[in-house]
Amino acid sequence: MKVKRTMLNFMLLPAVLPVVFVFISCEREYPIPIKEKEVAYELAQPQDTFNLATAALFENFEMGSKTSYAGASITLSTGTWYLNNALIGTSSSDRKHGSKSVRITSTGKLTMKFDKTNGAATVDIYHAKYGSNGSSKWELWVSTNSGSTWSKVGSTVTTSSTTLTKASFSVNISGNVRFEIRKVSGGSYRINIDDITITNYETTSTPTRDDNLALGNPSGALSNILYPNNYLMVKPQYVLSYNNSKLTSNWVSWHLSSAWIGSAPRQNNFRADNTLPSTWVWVGGTDYSSSGFDRGHMCPSADRTGSTTDNSATFLMTNMVPQAPNNNQITWANLENYCRKLVDEGNELYIISGPWGQGGTGSAGYKTTISSKKITVPSYVWKVIVVLPVGSNDISRINTSTRVIAVWMPNTQTVKNQPWGYYRTTVDYIESKTGYNFLSNISSSIQSVIESKVDNGPTN
């Protein structure tokens, strides 16, 4: 993906883009990666310039005044900010490019009180020790839901120099964003923060059909008949691990972007998958009949409408699990529709879903298997969804702020009593139940953060 990182280009900014900010008192602390690394910085140049013609957001704190550390809002050139255990420093001991900078003590915070509506590609922040104080650490946090919750961006930064130094963060989030700087160590030692630049997130990429297994093989499935209960099947439209004992998939993995969406009609040609080994039992298109359970797609038909061939592939019975009708047609379907809404909004998704356990309740009551072939009825169905703005080099763009939706949904008729968002959980939880390793192609430090979050973003 080609990301335009637009920046302001001027030396002293008397006024910049006006924006409105909101202080957040309710926040959710997400775990920090176990292994932290220091952010690479550059020494600040007092004559740094910015391009006003392509302005994103720049704050140099020259327009505000606050002389007390007590929490309060102040109006700056970009709008209103909230400073808690922080003030606007003007003394000779304050490190600054102009005549002012923010000085933060204790575990103080500097909070934007608005949503920047055109996203963020990068954030640059200049920082230094105040006077002769000792070193401190601080972090950048981002909210994409108007400050209801926050997640950490990048690594913890150590401020150990009395020279203003630039810390750069790669964000790559579209839509509404707001940021908060948190001093997390150093006690009464103080730090100065100056010249914050947030570049717009823009993309010129065209949606493409990408690797359906890009994020990793959750169960280490192999295309080897000697592994009948973890048998890898790679199709152009999706990839799955098949379980010959349960006669369903273990999981199905697929990529979803607008490149997969077209006008092909629903084929409804449910049928056996003749690419299975000939000596195995094949589930046919009528084997769910009169069972009280739907032939529940894992990779949905509506996710593959680019051609008749693509859509037809989703009706292979290896892509089905016995799903309670109210699950399949209502709650699960609403989640599927929401995924396509995200695509319509300019995102691409990597999705993995599957069944778990044995025993579900359909329209004909509780069953552990259906058909004379003894097809396993799962107790739950689950899904993991990674959301990215449309682009390329997708693995490298996943960071600790990437939205990940994980759902663990009972395979029952009463599941419809709650919206799909009610069933959100963590990727870690689904891993603990299934034994799978999701997102294994992503660095472990990023995994540890995004897999431990319960998504609380929009649901419709």
Catalytic residue among 97, 127, 255, 297: 297
Provide the token pair at 281: 């039992």
Query: CB count, 10 Å around CB of 6?
Result: 19
- How far is it, in rounded angstroms, from Cα 133 to Cα 183? 14
Reading the block at residue 213, the tokens are: 């297994």
Beta bridge partners of 182: 109, 139
Q: Which residues contact 141 (CB under 8 A, 6 or more apart)?
A: 150, 151, 152, 153, 179, 180, 181, 182
Show the 3-state SS of the chain.
CCECCCCCECCCCCCCCCCCCCCCCCCCCCCCCCCCCCCCEEECCCCCCCEHHHCCEEECCCCCCCCCCCCEEEEECCEEEEEEEEEEECCCCCCCCCCCEEEEEEEEEEEECCCECCCEEEEEEEEEECCCCCCEEEEEEEECCCCCCCEEEEEEEEECCCCCEEEEEEEEECCCEEEEEEECCCCCCCEEEEEEEECCCCECCCCCCCCCCCCCCCCCCECCCCCCCCEEEECCCCEEEEECCCCEEEEEEEEECHHHCCCCCCCCCCECCCCCCCCCCCCCCCCCCCCCCEEEECCCHHHCCCCHHHHHHCCEHHHEEEECHHHHHHHHHHHHHHHHHHHHCCEEEEEEEEEECCCEEECCEEECEECCCCEECCCEEEEEEEEEECCCCHHHHCCCCCEEEEEEEECCCHHHHCCHHHHEECHHHHHHHHCCCCCCCCCHHHHHHHCCCCCCCCCC
> What's the token pair of residue 345?
């909004």
Q: Length of the chain, please?
A: 460
Question: Is 297 annotated as catalytic?
Answer: yes
Are residues 112 and 81 in contact, defined by beta-carbon separation less than 8 angstroms?
yes
Catalytic residues: 297
